[in-house]
Structure 1
Amino acid sequence: MAIKSHITVHKIAPPKGSNIDFAAELRGADLENLTEVDFDVIRRALYENQVILFKGQQNLSPKAQYELTRLFDPTVEAYGHGKTLDTKKSILHPDLKTIPHQPQVQVIGNGPVKEFEGLKNITLKHPHHKTFHQHPISEEDDRDNTRFYRWHIDAALYDLNPPRVTSLMAVQVPKTEYQNLRYDDGTGDELSVPRGSTAFVSSSQMFDLLSEEDKEFARTTKVQYAPHPYVWMSSAKSRSDGLGLVSEGRELPYSELPAIDESKVKILPMCWRNPVTNKLALQVHPSAVEKLHLADGTVIDNLEEVREIVHRLQRPGIAPEYVYPVDWEAGDLALFNNQGVLHSVTGSFKPEEVRIFRQCNLAASTAPLGPE
């Protein structure tokens, strides 16, 4: 008799007025003791729903979180950003700490923490858009309003392949009021989000929103990412909707970057294919893009033009009705298809508000599946 899993999959009901077609909650999983049958259910649910949530995981160990994340790509072990964190100019450098006994798992959050998983007397800092956006929200409006900090994929985008899956574990969450998330891009778009929500959009839904002409362009175009992109962009500023950078010539010249190996520069398809559903996702990290390679061999290397093209294609997919803002509670574990969604930090916290999350992603053993 075939062994069945006790795990059940429940689609998350979209909020009123929402048109999201993804996200599910999984119940009945023992993530410390998964069977092959259990993982088959989890893997299918992940790729069919893009973001899956497990509630009540307060006792899940960092080791089990790492092992669950690694099941999606069993031959890999390296953290998805590699040594990006070791580069002090990198925009990622201040945001993450590494768990000493499980170095593939990072700690993110906000506030002073005396001890956590072997880390002592650390101060976590929730990313705030005022450090990254060209025109931040005023100080007097900041407590009640927020922005998408940066829409992105978890990926080094140099040398290493983009991770397949990211796991994000909410350990301690200050429950506070909602904030009004403003796009401030002239459209009047806004969205009510729980403070500190992680916002997700489906890149498959983003692709489906394109015209037939744009779909053909996306299917046949490749994206070249800047070498050491998080150092390269360290002085640049973001658009107010968090979807890519403003072109002001503030990117660091190659001469100021770490040594560049041309063979490690990433040129990836603009569309990535879901390994279970076969659907295409418009999957571009808008802040790290540098050039576009078109089907006829043309290379668009005017950075402002490249950014305008990518923003035009992606912007419809981050409209308020397509955004899923997670309302985190302590004990929530989310897994997301890092090759099929974009996500962004939102919100702001006072320096004394303590928030602790654990994050794990692993550089993939292979490049993402392309549209062919």
Structure 2
Amino acid sequence: MAIQSKITIHKIAPPTKTSTIDFGAEIRHADLQNLTPSDFQVIRRALYENQVIIFKNQQHLPPSAQYELTRLFDPTVQAYGHGKTLDAKKSILHPDLKTIPHQPQVQVIGNGPVAEFEGLRDITLKHPHHRTFHRDVISEGDDRENTRFYRWHIDAALYDLNPPRVTSLLAVRVPKTEYQNLRYDDGSEEELRVPRGSTVFVSSYRMFELLSEEDREFARTTRVQYAPHPYVWMSLAKSKTDGLGLVSEGKELAYEELPPIEEEKIKILPMCWRNPVTGKLALQVHPSAVEKLHLKDGTVIDDLEEVRRIVHRLQRPGIAPELVYAVDWEEGDLALFNNHGVLHSVTGSFKPEEVRIFRQCNLAASEGPLGLEEEEVV
């Protein structure tokens, strides 16, 4: 007789009366250091049906267990999802992440001075602030009460390595403070209230469903080419005010200014990625890293401004305020999210002395994302 798992799944209620989010769940009664195969199958299905799942009170989970939990979703992989991108001095990711010495697949992110943490000593963490990345910014006097989406993205190197299937994010230390007003500032006058420092998510499945039939056909039949070494390539460029892609000003680095490029490592991925459990299609594009679009008829759109215009038009309806899930972090919260089915962004700002510590783990996938005709057999 099969042993039934004690794990229970509780859908996250929409945070406001106007919210229409249809994803997110809290998982209870899971012993993450002693998961049975049936426990993991419950968690895996919960993840792919809810896209973001949260386990409470996991502050004692060691980095090794966080790594092992993340690896269960793709057991043959071991390498950190961004590979050596983190080490490139020009990379926009370089200042934001620190590597745990005894568990190099797990990174430390946050804000403020930290004397010692998991073998790291005398480090200073810096929470990404939109003023460092957006072309047009909120005035300095207003940015304590107001914030932006810093950068909508998926966790992926997008060169050489395959996009991680899952990211785990553990809140170790969280300064609990006031809410902030998140502004789009793109002419729409849209805004929403978010906990300061919230990580926000949107469903890429909903993003696809919002498309017209014509745009769905375009998305299903188009492939996205990402720039080589994209986080170095974009290092001088600036973001749109809604965090959904870059402003085209000709500031991207020329290929000869990048680290050596191997043609076969350039990533050309489907615009739509299939959920391995539900079969739904996600409109899954990293809007800041995209360089070219390959159309069904063989045409390649390589005008960068036009590429960005197309991608932004397709994705923008999916980040409307009522579709955004803003996590109100509490210490001990461990989130797992389907990196092939959501976009996420940092929000908020902290004073330099405010200490916030998170542990993050994602692993480069053993295979590329599932395309339209593919199904995963488990």
TM-score, with length taken from structure 2? 0.98
Equivalents in 2 of 1:336, 1:273: separation in Å? Answer: 15
**1:77-116 CA-partner distances (Å, limit 9, x unpaired):** 0000000011000000000000011000000000000000
Per the alignment, residue 352 of structure 1 pairs with: 353
Per the alignment, residue 4 of structure 1 pairs with: 4
Identity %: 84
Per the alignment, residue 251 of structure 1 pairs with: 252
**1:42-84 CA-partner distances (Å, limit 9, x unpaired):** 0000000000000011111100000000000000000000000
Equivalents in 1 of 2:350, 2:195: separation in Å? Answer: 12
Equivalents in 1 of 2:85, 2:138: separation in Å? Answer: 29
Per the alignment, residue 312 of structure 1 pairs with: 313
**1:290-330 CA-partner distances (Å, limit 9, x unpaired):** 00000000000000000000000000000000000000000
- Aligned 1:7-46 pairs, distance under 5 A: 7-15=7-15, 16-46=17-47
- Aligned 1:232-251 pairs, distance under 5 A: 232-251=233-252
Equivalents in 2 of 1:173, 1:48: separation in Å? Answer: 28
Amino acid at match of 1:3: I
Per the alignment, residue 192 of structure 2 pairs with: 191
- SS of residue in 2 equivalent to 1:94: helix
- SS of residue in 2 equivalent to 1:167: strand
TM-score, with length taken from structure 1? 1.00
Per the alignment, residue 336 of structure 1 pairs with: 337
Per the alignment, residue 376 of structure 2 pairs with: none
The alignment covers a number of residue pairs equal to: 372
Q: Offset of 1:371 from its aligned partner?
A: 1.3
Task: List runs of 5+ in structure 2 lacking aligned partners.
Answer: 374-378
Q: Is 2:172 aligned against 1:171?
A: yes
Per the alignment, residue 125 of structure 1 pairs with: 126
- Aligned 1:1-372 pairs, distance under 5 A: 1-15=1-15, 16-372=17-373
Equivalents in 1 of 2:183, 2:130: separation in Å? Answer: 12
Equivalents in 2 of 1:240, 1:339: separation in Å? Answer: 24
Equivalents in 2 of 1:59, 1:261: separation in Å? Answer: 42
RMSD: 0.4
Equivalents in 2 of 1:97, 1:300: separation in Å? Answer: 37
Task: List runs of 5+ in structure 1 lacking aligned partners.
Answer: none
Amino acid at match of 1:360: C
**1:19-54 CA-partner distances (Å, limit 9, x unpaired):** 111000000000011111110000000000000000
- SS of residue in 2 equivalent to 1:106: strand
**1:109-167 CA-partner distances (Å, limit 9, x unpaired):** 00000000000010000000000000010000010000000000000000000000000
Equivalents in 2 of 1:24, 1:222: separation in Å? Answer: 31
Amino acid at match of 2:51: Q
**1:216-252 CA-partner distances (Å, limit 9, x unpaired):** 0000000000000000000000000000000000000
Q: Offset of 1:2 from its aligned partner?
A: 1.2
- SS of residue in 1 equivalent to 2:141: helix
